[in-house]
Chains A and B, each alone.
Chain A
Amino acid sequence: MKRQFLPLLLLGLCGAANAQQPAATVIAVPPLTSPDSGNKGNEMLAVGWDVTQAIEADLRQTAEVMPLKPNRDDYYSYPEVTAPTFSKWRSKGAKALVTGFVQSRSDGRLTVGCYVYDLDKGRELARKGFIVGAGDWRRAAHKCSGLAYTAITGAPGMFDTRIAYVAENGSGEARTRRIAIMDSDGRNHRYLTPGDAMVLTPRFSPKASQLAYVSFAGGRPAVRVVDLASGQERPMIASDSISFAPRFSPDGSRIAFSMMLGANSDIYTVDAGGAAPRRLTTAPGVDTDPSFSPDGTKIVFESDRGGSQQLYVMNADGTGQRRISFGGGWYATPQWSPDGQWIAFTRRGQDGRRIGIVKADGTGEQTITSGPGDEGPSWAASSREILFQRSGNDGRTGLYRVALDGSEPRQMTIPQDGSDPDWSGVAE
């Protein structure tokens, strides 16, 4: 019964959000409570406060949702979780509310209950329970943030996602590069490669269980695939050709990439296990940076076959190749958005390199960043944000995220310079 109401409510809320764009939807985040009592209760309330702050931090990263600062003294009783005082939070200017509870389980783990409400309508939008290990409360917080974000915007939340990039230290010949991985909020930062060989372009598999990247360890650039859980690593294909620009298919079964044959760079696909490589393009010139559509039936790529780098779309078997970029200048590094609506790209003109988006049929082109040293867009799982690298005049390179609504890009905090970011889908 409730399920039937949900789409209607969502539509109503989205309509309201659109009408007042670009103002974000204000959401109240009262402290998570607990049904437990005594010492256990206090312990769970403390975890609940940690979760509350993590949810606020998650939602504050977005352009569409603006959390009210939670107040620890705003004691929230357990019955209030399922029956909030709507008028109280409305009077604070909030349109939505997310809260819940933390309950200890007999096996030592935690149940985190998460509830999202539309305050104007006084209705529940979504609820979900997450069972996590006692040390894993942050993941439950990310899941709860995602539930609230999705209920309000209709787009997948990107809080339980990871970012891979190339960490850069030193300068000139002595510059070292390592593949680094972190949670999308910057936590759990770690290095995957030791820095003895140059590395480029890390690309996650759809569930972020594997990573493909380019390594110069063998003397020439070649794609390698690493299993992130076991750390086991192998060459993507058994070949000593130069290979680069890997990108997994949306179902994870294939990898599209570029390979040199003589002076010619073409697009190939190969089974994720390394079998059955298949050549998709034959045009003389540089064809590279393939990216699958989310349904896996099409591939967008860049080619200089017409004299300058432009974007082309083809069927995933290589047929039906056609150019889609006509705005002048050079277009490169296309990536298809997870919702299929847009293709993000780097456009190089007289005044530098900028990030833009265009529809797959070549219409609706928009410029998203001001440049002049921007490159390598990677979509958030929400399809509402883009991560990219920006190089300054001082030679430093950083990672920036920008929302499609035209707001200013925000620099991510990382321990050193960074380039080639890739933003994963939502982890299972």
Chain B
Amino acid sequence: MMRKTTCILGLLLLGATAADAQLPFLRKRGAQPQQPVLQGIDALRADFAAQAGGTTVYFGAGNSLLGATAKATLGLQAAWLRKHPEVVVRIEGYGDGLDTRDHALAVGARRAEEARAYLVLMGVPPAQLSTTSWGKERPGLGRAVTILVR
């Protein structure tokens, strides 16, 4: 029993040493020094999504009214953004699939704008926020998504 555990530990140690030994080599050929990237915007994005209960708010077909669930999500997004004034976000609005192209583009823009206006109402400085619209041109219709840009 004891012997077995020690044996496994030894193997693990060996493995770790081997991995460590290779690291400088990997870095040299080194596509990317990965650690800073992982800790940067991706970590912020993960934290934002977890704290705000989601990056996405949904709308009923044909309208751009914020429901109670959407407002709750945006309220949590606003709280997070107030704590991270250095972060800039883009709100991407989507239209509805049954609409004609240009109408869907306008509806998407309007949904993004409604989400933006609510974040401003909740105390987020406008300089942190921008909007765009994908109309019905990309998958994932009927929503507005808040995306951390930097």
Contacts and interface: CB of A to CB of B under 8 A. Distances in A.
B113 A260 contact: yes
A333 interface: yes
Interface size class of chain A, counting residues whose CB lies under 8 Å from the partner chain: 20 to 34
B103 A263 contact: no
Interface residues of B, number: 23
Contact of A375 (B100, B117, B132, B133): B100
Contacts of B103: 286, 288-289, 302, 304, 309, 332
A175 B114 CA distance: 28
Interface in A238-257: 242, 244-245
B100 A265 contact: no
A54 interface: no
A265 B109 contact: yes
A203 to B, nearest CB: 11
Interface in A157-181: 172-173
Nearest to A304: B103
B65 to A, nearest CB: 11
Interface in A241-284: 242, 244-245, 258, 260, 262-265
Interface string B97-108: 011111101110
B90 interface: yes
B110 A286 contact: yes
B47 interface: no
Contact of B101 (A173, A200, A286): A200
A348 B100 contact: yes
Interface string B69-112: 00000000000000000000010000000111111011101100
A156 B98 CA distance: 35
A353 interface: yes
B4 interface: no
A260 B110 CA distance: 8
Given A198-B137, A333-B100, A348-B100, A221 B105 contact: yes
B138 interface: yes
Contacts of B139: 172-173
B98 A348 contact: yes
Given A242-B109, A262-B113, A201 B137 contact: no
B64 interface: yes
Contact of B132 (A172, A220, A420): A220
Contacts of B109: 242, 260, 263, 265
Contacts of A173: 138-139
Nearest to B139: A172
Contacts of B135: 200, 221
Interface string B6-41: 000000000000000000000000000000000000
Interface of A: 172-173, 198, 200-201, 214, 216, 219-221, 242, 244-245, 258, 260, 262-265, 286, 288-289, 302, 304, 309, 332-333, 346, 348, 353, 375-376, 419-420
Q: Which 9 residue pairs spanning A and B have beta carbons closest together?
A: A265-B106, A332-B100, A263-B113, A220-B132, A286-B106, A245-B102, A263-B110, A288-B102, A260-B109
